[in-house]
Amino acid sequence: MKLVQVIVDVTAMQTDTPYTYGVPIELQDQIDVGSRLLVPFGKSNRPIQAFVISEAQEAVEQMKDIIAILDNKPTLTPELVQLSKWISEETFAFRISCLNAMLPNALKVTTKRSIKIISDEVTTEQLIEIFGQEQMQDLRPADLSAKQQRQLNDLIANDQVELIYHTNDEARSQKVTKIYPLLTTEKFREISESLAKSKKVQIRLLDLLQNTITEDGIEQVELVNQFNIGRSTINTAVDKGWIEKRSIEKYRDPFSSPVEPDEKFVLNDEQQVAYDDISTSVDQRQSDVFLLEGVTGSGKTEVYLQSIETALQSGRTALMLVPEISLTPLMVNRVRARFGNEVAALHSGLSDGEKFDEWRRIDCGEAKVVVGARSAVFAPLTNIGIIIVDEEHSSTYKQEDNPRYHARDVAIKRAQTFNCPVVLGSATPSLESRARCEKGLIKLLTLTKRSQEQSLPEVKIVDMRNVSARSRSSENFSNQLVEAIQDKLNRKEQVVLLLNRRGFSSFVMCRSCGFVLKCPNCDISLTLHMDSHSMRCHYCGHEEAIPQTCANCGSNKIRFYGVGTEKIEKELNQLFPEAGVIRMDVDTTRRKGAHEKLLARFGNHEGDILLGTQMIAKGLDFPDVTLVGVLNADTALELPDFRASERTFQLLTQVSGRAGRADKTGEVYIQTYNPEHYAIKLAQKQDYEDFYHKEMYLRNLGKYAPFYYSVQITIDHQDEKMAVKKAYEVLNDLQPNLSKNAIVLGPSPKAIARIKQRYFYQIVVKYKRETNLKKVLQNIRSESQDDYRKGYNINIDVEPQNFV
């Protein structure tokens, strides 16, 4: 490419457009769509990062040349580059934000790199001569001439040097030296026989080369440490041409434990029907979207795995998305048990270095199955044969920051490009997806029975209104639930308890004057955390000491309100002193790998009761769990959000589904103050279809999704008056361009009106079809650049997940 069009790494409106640059002749064959560059930018020509999006046809006036290519091959595939355009248009995000969202952190331009020699053919002195001493340690592509860059790229292409990206955990990223035999076994025997008896070590090495070391080679350290062959002997052998040394990349292994391979199940009738439809679509390369609606424990995962296998058999790759955190390690292990080393995992539990390694394994084609959370939807796979979105209703698939994409939509878009099917799976599908089945846009596949016809657990509702405080066994446990737990403990079965809160206690209030301790920066009360013995703000991270006296009236009658997992754990210890309790919440799972460890302990019966927040609701498949208790079913219902019922139904159904998954029948107790609420009553029946119809009726009445689309515009400023003023200006821009069928709500303060000392106002537009809307929103976004300088932020969120 002689001329390139690039998107520069500046998140601003004026720069959200392609720029044309020239390419020095030495680099013209090294550059392609998706290459990351440094280009001179602005009056000062400071070097900034840029992505090549296409070849440019015509030179522009005062065109500059690029400074450097940052990676020796294009960082993004042409498909991803194209996808970034689509996302930026759909979500009103800057193109550069979309491109950056696709890259692992380790590739951020601030990452330090250095040149490392990996072959005997070059020496440090030679390199210093070419690049200079400093560049060897801290490579700054901007300071290299085009010729130097060309030389560097050639060295990389010839496996003589490599670039090391220094991440925080770089110590664990390594190349290892491996030894490969160069001669036949015969030949080794001949040589061995011809050697003097005194050359003991050489003879032993030759022996190993005949009997132990295969064509796959052996790591040098192993040869040295395990087989006691000295380095000098190894070097002699290299000199004699018996063996060669090669430097092989050893990836950081994000999998802490090995996984036993498993066998696939013979599918039951319903699974078979679903699999047949999906695999036909894989084979015929159709970009169908399926909704696999299967009750909890119906064996959706087995259908996914066999469908993935079909895609792999036809030489293609597979992408599987799972909701963030708790589910990922479990699901990754199930997929690894089936597909072994072909699996790569991408999720927030990995360090930057681990993510980068996994990313490279995918990029070079070594990993063919990718399992990961939301951002894994951008995995640099080519030739995708199937995409699976497990627990498709999960709100974690929507990114809450720019670019505000929904991974489900991105998955469908990528599948169209690759002509492959998407399988959305859930026991409790989102109303949006389920409704699309009715319109024929999605094909509905149902699994109505558990995999081996086990019965669904019996769900009992405990009306907490009638349980007087005195007749309760403890503050948060009804007698019924306590008896049920005791019964399971006696039988050595296991219990899962759900509490939908975090922290020890929600807030602190003064009993004399009613004062509640709030965050100084945000409109929200501080939460007590026993692990750090402090009060913390969940929005801005503000932290202060636990008050002894009231800041308002000086009284010492401070009370802690609300419940948290730590408090429940204490109650459990009092009620069942003999039981082992494993607590899983944000505090106990902060450390890397903590999730996996806690779940493994529960799986090994090192605990009888697993107590956790919503993170334990999905995906757990433990055969000895026969009781599930929901301590407070109502927390989510109280939220002023039209999805409150849906979320509550999903949570209760999902968590109920953890009980009785194997041969023993399960029981569920749901403690609630709203026993008549339809979401709770229908969760008791575990009847998604019934819930769907009821909820659709209400959504239609309330003009909510999926009957109406919605977009939320948020305006924030440090000065509340300014925020309001701007919100009305935006409203005035919007309104004349909307039809009379559109519904505009606001401007109104957001539910949490102040965060980090900024005031938030919102406008919500609900609509069915608005031909001008996209254009108006684009205008609002374009103009927001000037507003930004005046201290405003304006954000557009298409189909917001949390609009309160």
Is 522 annotated in some ligand binding site? Answer: yes
Between 619 and 746, CB nearer to ligand ATP: 619
Is 513 annotated in some ligand binding site? Answer: yes
Q: Does 657 engage in binding with ligand ATP (CB under 6 A)?
A: yes
Which residue in the set 411, 427, 431, 496 belongs to the binding site for ligand ATP (CB under 6 A)? 427
Tell which residue, 647, 654, 592, has the closest CA to residue 619. 654
Is 364 annotated in some ligand binding site? Answer: no
Is 540 annotated in some ligand binding site? Answer: yes
Which structure tokens are listed for 752? 């949490």
What's the closest the beta carbon of residue 771 comes to ligand ATP, in angstroms?
Answer: 40
Which H or E run contains 32? Answer: none
Q: Does 653 engage in binding with ligand ATP (CB under 6 A)?
A: no
Residues contacting ligand ATP: total by CB under 6 A: 20
- What is the distance between the alpha carbons of residues 65 and 44, in angstroms, rounded to a whole number? 14
What's the closest the beta carbon of residue 529 comes to Zn ion, in angstroms?
Answer: 14
Which residue in the set 265, 678, 708, 767 belongs to the binding site for ligand ATP (CB under 6 A)? 265
Between 265 and 704, CB nearer to ligand ATP: 265
Partner in contact with 555, chosen from Zn ion, ligand ATP, none, beta carbon below 5 to 8 Å by kind: Zn ion
Tell which residue, 167, 33, 11, has the closest CA to residue 96. 11
What's the closest the beta carbon of residue 473 comes to Zn ion, in angstroms?
Answer: 32
Is 510 annotated in some ligand binding site? Answer: yes
Site for ligand ATP in 513-572 (CB under 6 A): none
Q: Does 451 engage in binding with ligand ATP (CB under 6 A)?
A: yes
Q: Does 296 engage in binding with ligand ATP (CB under 6 A)?
A: yes
- What is the distance between the alpha carbons of residues 746 and 730, in angstroms, rounded to a whole number? 11
Q: Does 619 engage in binding with ligand ATP (CB under 6 A)?
A: yes
Which residue in the set 109, 122, 267, 337 belongs to the binding site for ligand ATP (CB under 6 A)? 267
DSSP assignment of 113-174, as one string? Answer: EEEEE-STTS-HHHHHHHH-HHHHHS--GGGS-HHHHHHHHHHHHTTSEEEEEE-TTGGG-E
Q: Does 457 engage in binding with ligand ATP (CB under 6 A)?
A: no
Q: Does 302 engage in binding with ligand ATP (CB under 6 A)?
A: yes
**Nearest-10 Cα torsion for 229, 230, 235, 237:** -30
Which residue in the set 621, 687, 720, 729 belongs to the binding site for ligand ATP (CB under 6 A)? 621
CB burial of 119-137 (b: ≥16 within 10 Å; e: otherwise) equals eeeeeeeebeebbeeebbe
C-alpha R_g of the chain: 30
Euclidean distance between the first and final Cα of the chain, in Å? 50
Which structure tokens are listed for 687? 């009847």
Answer whether 149's CB lies under 8 Å from 70's CB: no
Between 163 and 600, CB nearer to ligand ATP: 600
If DSSP states are collapsed to H, E and C, what string results for 249-293? EECCCCCCCCCCCCCCCCCCHHHHHHHHHHHHHHHCCCCCEEEEE
Q: Would you give the distance in Å from CA 96 to the centre of its chain? A: 20
Between 391 and 716, CB nearer to Zn ion: 716
Partner in contact with 583, chosen from Zn ion, ligand ATP, none, beta carbon below 5 to 8 Å by kind: none
Which residue in the set 123, 214, 452, 556 belongs to the binding site for ligand ATP (CB under 6 A)? 452
Is 437 annotated in some ligand binding site? Answer: no
What's the closest the beta carbon of residue 433 comes to ligand ATP, in angstroms?
Answer: 15
Residues that bind Zn ion (CB under 5 A): 510, 512-513, 515, 519, 521-522, 537, 539-540, 542, 550, 552-553, 555
Answer whether 358's CB lies under 8 Å from 377's CB: no
- What is the distance between the alpha carbons of residues 172 and 145, in angstroms, rounded to a whole number? 32
Partner in contact with 284, chosen from ligand ATP, Zn ion, none, beta carbon below 5 to 8 Å by kind: none
Which residue in the set 91, 279, 281, 298 belongs to the binding site for ligand ATP (CB under 6 A)? 298
Burial class (CB in 10 A: 0-12, 13-18, 19+), 171: exposed
Q: Would you give the distance in Å from CA 548 to the centre of its chain? A: 40
Is 553 annotated in some ligand binding site? Answer: yes
> Which residues would be at the binding site for ligand ATP (CB under 6 A)?
265-268, 271, 294, 296-302, 427, 451-452, 619, 621, 657, 661
Known binding residues for Zn(2+) are 510, 513, 519, 522, 537, 540, 550, 553
Known binding residues are 510, 513, 519, 522, 537, 540, 550, 553
